[in-house]
Amino acid sequence: MSTTATLSVPTPSAAFETSTVERRAVGEHDVLIDIAYSGICHSDIHQARNEWAEGIFPMVPGHEIAGTVAEVGPGVTKYAVGDRVGVGCFVDSCRECENCRAGEEQYCLKGEVPTYNGKDYDGVETYGGYSKQIVVHEDYTLGIPEGIELDVAAPLLCAGITTYSPLHHWGAGPGKKVAIVGMGGLGHLGVKIAAAMGAEVTVLSQSLKKEEDGRRLGADHYAATSDPETFESLAGTFDLIVNTVAATLPVDKYLSLLRLDGAMVNVGIPADADTYHAFSLAGMRRSLAGSKIGGIRETQEMLDFCAEHGIGAEVEVLAPEPAVIDEAYERVVGSDVRYRFVIDVAALEG
Ligand SMILES: [Zn+2]
Ligand SMILES: [Zn+2]
């Protein structure tokens, strides 16, 4: 066991404080990671505020982890001390169910082990990336290629794979028209990745406030969803719509933007239920779908793809101070970040 400094939330919705947690001893196939940066995902906020299921407190959030290997267990073959590595939203899965065997561990039928606010299969609570070190099995550790700085790599481990996986699965590429709904932490990476895949990319955002950024990141078109004209002029246009917005939407209006066989995929999860009419699907053989992060193999593929195309997140780096993280949470809730906060956890004292 080793003790590591953390930024933690002692009770639901409490302010952050500095504290420590115990990390397990480095096992046969474990790597000990010196964390450099940890991204702030909107889901960190939901969990720290107990807005989803009953959380485990104290909580150390963080599942967008980038750092370097400090120590390896004797059986580790994939990584060596000094390697640049990342950890995403889960740190283990059953490895035996059909989904795990297919490399889709994020859909593990036994339930994958979340990086924080969960329990290992042996019952020990998991604590995430807002900390100086973490111990993870090598099979659930990703390699971060040279060519992506660790600060801009961190958000790829959740926001990057969350958008890459549906773009890949639904065949975004040359000749395909793709819309990304929302220009936030997820959406801005969706734009970069879809453009690098060769698709013709349109951002559908509430307003045109971020149009300049959207085009700079690779969007060919940018349209405001607050303008009714948008839904008329773009009717029947897209092969794929990736919806990154975590708010209920007028789903039928968005489905009307899909061409024959088009699909709308939700990666943002609103608190309330969406409604839609089956006519919106049947009329043009459209699909309405959802997608959750990605498996280990696909996450590595995404990191390699991003390195090859020079893609990282647009980040604002934060000092690892409780008050700074509290304020950043408020800004994320108010959509006041371009486009992802990452915490410089290496600078955490202790
Ligand atoms: Zn996340
Ligand atoms: Zn499984």
SS3 state of residue 191: helix
Q: From the CA of 40, how far away is ligand 1's center (Å)?
A: 8
DSSP SS3 for 186: helix
Tell me the whole-structure pTM to 2 decimals: 0.97
Q: How high is the pLDDT of residue 272?
A: 86
Ligand 2 mean position to 103 CA, how many Å?
9
The pLDDT score that the predictor gives to residue 26 is 98
Report the candidate in 142, 244, 258, 263 with the shortest Cα–Cα distance to residue 189.
244
pLDDT score for 205: 97
Q: Ligand 2 centroid to 158 CA: how many Å? A: 19
How is residue 34 written in tokens? 């010196």
- Report the pLDDT value the prediction gives residue 25, as an integer from 0 to 100: 97
Protein residues near ligand 2, an ion, with CB under 5 A: 93-94, 97, 100, 108, 110
State in Å: Cα 185 to ligand 2 middle.
Answer: 28
Residue 124 pLDDT:
96
pLDDT at 304: 98
Q: What is the pLDDT of residue 52?
A: 84
Q: Which residues of the chain have pLDDT under 70?
A: none
* 73: number of Cβ within 10 Å: 16
Contact 62, 36 (CB under 8 A): no
Name the packing angle between helices 185-196 and 296-308 (round to 10°). Answer: 70
